[in-house]
């Protein structure tokens, strides 16, 4: 059976994908293809390159993408992704979709066309970084005369590249609906409102997954709280380990 895996965006919550991947490996689930957005794009790229979930966790936490960023001070954003791209280039030096061990698709948002764009061939890391470019925080990435931002703006759960091409679709969604506390500031209110809008575009796509993995405890973690990375990984791992997999996917 050919199994496709969809990895949503979610900031620091995306670390839960690594726990999900580790548990799926222990259940002997073989992934045939991956589609990822934002944090899911990073996890998908590293896993497709052959790194274990534990090693990816080690790399992400030690590299810490936020530390790899430098001020851009442009009119279109505050930070750019160049340092982050260079950091991941150390681990994926071939920088190519074609050299990955598992087929991968990454989505980003074409700002001026107002549509999702999918990458599955050619240069790898710039599309991955583009998929992570939160508007207003990161400078957009210009590629092939296109201005690219976070894929989650229009499609935070990119199941379309895998649907009808694989026998069984697993979705790892790290953004369970609900808040554990009310926003305490205007900035927090704006962030959570944007988060809610992004989540809303995932609803119909969640139903397209044959198996949805959405650990409810993730709502207790802020999407920006990388300090709780170990706990987030554990939540993804333990929830997935507790699942009984459908017989038709084994």
As annotated, the active-site residues are 38, 150
The residues, any chain, with a CB within 8 Å of residue 197's CB and separated by 6 or more, are none
Tokens 């066309």 belong to 113
Tokens 């957005």 belong to 37
Read off φ and ψ for residue 169, nearest 5 degrees.
Answer: -110, 125
How far is Cα 233 from Cα 215, in angstroms, rounded to an integer?
Answer: 11
Rg (CA), the chain: 17
Burial 87-106 (b: 16+ CB within 10 A, else e): bbeeebeeeebeebebbbbb
Q: Report CA torsion sign: 37, 41, 43, 47.
A: positive
């Amino acid at each position: 059976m050919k199994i496709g895996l969809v990895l949503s965006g979610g900031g620091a919550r995306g670390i839960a994908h690594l726990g999900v991947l580790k548990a799926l490996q222990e259940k002997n689930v073989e992934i045939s293809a991956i589609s990822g957005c934002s944090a899911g794009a990073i996890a998908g790229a590293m896993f497709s390159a052959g790194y274990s979930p534990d090693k990816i966790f080690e790399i992400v936490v030690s590299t810490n993408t936020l530390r790899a960023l430098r001020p851009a001070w442009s009119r279109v954003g505050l930070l750019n992704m160049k340092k982050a791209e260079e950091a991941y280039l150390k681990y994926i030096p071939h920088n190519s979709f074609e050299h990955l061990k598992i087929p991968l698709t990454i989505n980003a948002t074409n700002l001026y066309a107002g549509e999702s764009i999918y990458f599955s061939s050619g240069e790898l890391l710039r599309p991955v970084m583009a998929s992570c470019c939160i508007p207003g925080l990161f400078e957009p990435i210009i590629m092939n005369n296109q201005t690219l931002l976070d894929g989650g703006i229009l499609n935070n759960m990119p199941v379309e590249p895998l649907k009808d091409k694989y026998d069984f679709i697993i979705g790892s969604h790290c953004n369970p609906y609900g808040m554990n506390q009310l926003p305490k500031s205007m900035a927090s209110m704006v962030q959570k409102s944007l988060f809610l809008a992004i989540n809303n575009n995932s609803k119909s796509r969640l139903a397209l997954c044959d198996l949805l993995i959405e650990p409810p405890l993730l709502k207790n973690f802020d999407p920006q709280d990388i300090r709780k990375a170990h706990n987030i990984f554990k939540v993804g791992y333990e929830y997935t380990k507790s699942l009984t997999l459908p017989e038709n996917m084994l």
